[in-house]
Amino acid sequence: MIEEREQDAAVKARHRTMWAMGDYAAVAAQVIPELGATLVRAVGVGPGMRVLDVAAGTGNAALPAARTGAEVVAGDLTPELLAIGQASAEREGVTLTWEEADAEALPYADGAFDAVLSCVGVMFAPRHRVAADELLRVCRPGGTIGLVNWTPEGFVGQLFAAMRPYAPPPPPGAQPPPLWGDEDHVRELFGDRVDALTLGRDAVVVNRFATPGQFRDFFATHYGPTVAVYRANAGDPERTVGLDRALTELAARHLAGGVMRWEYLLVTARRA
């Protein structure tokens, strides 16, 4: 048991370090700025609601939720991201609470929130069942769970597939993040603990990159998971060239006229 706790702590420490790499705030603001607001609208967040944004990052969903007048808590494993989000909220004059919180062990009471959200966040918790259990636990009966998850078949799912041969092996028991974008997987995770489950695929339009090389360079320096993979191969020029090629070719297949479409799964469910 002690060994398991130590292993879990080491995994969480690596996740914190990975997401603090690069500049995720720039990714959220420049590449997917409206994705959180899309989730907030789908869930119907409004004044007076108690809302938790799980794996909130810099507040892509938490900030638009707070703008509706909801009482929002933004929780994330990485304090560096929370600090950036909090500074943005203060500049804007938006009030919400920012707290360090592990999606697999949320520090909140059962049924504490009317709505529990996560915008391409909780999908990166390594143990999907544990994370799903926590989303359900902190949502009150009759409350709403709302998620946006990248799909395995979409661009970001394919990005992780392209990086996999160059990445260190995942920790034991970890599941691939894009599985959260598979409808059957989500149904299995939630089961009969939810009703009014809706699952719909859509795509965010990304017009940030004029060329495949621009995408590769931006993600190699800004997106934590990609930065981490590049660092893992920094001592091997041949593998670094192969990683460059894999990301450039991926972007070339998806980029047309300076526009990409990144598919996601929008999930809403009522806690039974």
Give domain status of residue 107, yes or no: yes
Q: CA–CA separation, 7 vs 257, rounded Å?
A: 46
Distances (CA, A) of 151 to 56, 156, 268, 271: 19, 7, 15, 23
Is position 232 within any domain? no
Which pLDDT score, from 0 to 100, does residue 9 have? 86
Instruction: Evaluate whether 251 touches 223 at the Cβ level (below 8 Å).
Output: no
Q: What is the CATH number of the domain that holds 58?
A: 3.40.50.150
Residue 146 domain flag? yes
What is the rounded distance in angstroms from the CA atom of residue 241 to the CA atom of residue 234? 10
Cβ atoms of residues 206 and 32 within 8 Å: yes
Q: Is residue 246 part of a domain?
A: no
In a domain, 255, yes or no: no
The confidence score (pLDDT) of residue 29 equals 96
Residue that the structure tokens 């879990």 belong to = 8
User: What pLDDT sits at residue 7?
Assistant: 82
The total number of structural domains that make up the chain? 1
Is the distance from CB of 201 to CB of 148 less than 8 angstroms?
A: no
Side chain identity, residue 225: P
Does 138 fall in a domain?
yes
CB 134, CB 104: distance < 8 Å: yes
217 lies in some domain: no
The C-alpha angle with vertex 61 and arms to 220 and 159, in degrees rounded to 5, equals 30
Let me know: does 196 contact 270? Beta carbons within 8 Å.
yes
Is residue 76 assigned to a domain? Answer: yes
Q: Which is it for strands 71-76 and 97-100: parallel, antiparallel or unpaired?
A: parallel
- Whether the Cβ atoms of residue 64 and residue 94 lie closer than 8 Å to each other: no
pTM comes to 0.96
The tens place of each residue's pLDDT in the chain, 272 residues long, gives: 666 777 888 889 999 999 999 999 999 999 999 999 999 999 999 999 999 999 999 999 999 999 999 999 999 999 999 999 999 999 999 999 999 999 999 999 999 999 999 999 999 999 999 999 999 999 999 999 999 999 999 999 999 999 999 999 998 889 999 999 999 999 999 999 999 999 999 999 999 999 999 999 999 999 999 999 999 999 999 999 999 999 999 999 999 999 999 999 999 999 99
CA–CA distance from 165 to each of 12, 174, 243 (Å)?
22, 16, 9
- Determine the pLDDT at residue 1: 61
Residues forming beta bridges with residue 105, ordered by sequence position: 102
- 159, 243 Cβ separation under 8 angstroms: no
Asked whether 139 and 116 are in contact (CB, 8 A), the reply is: yes
Q: What's the pLDDT at 6? A: 78
Q: Where are the beta strands (DSSP E) in 167-249?
A: 194-206
Q: Cα–Cα distance between 264 and 177 in angstroms, integer?
A: 12
Containing structural domain, residue 66: 2-204+263-271
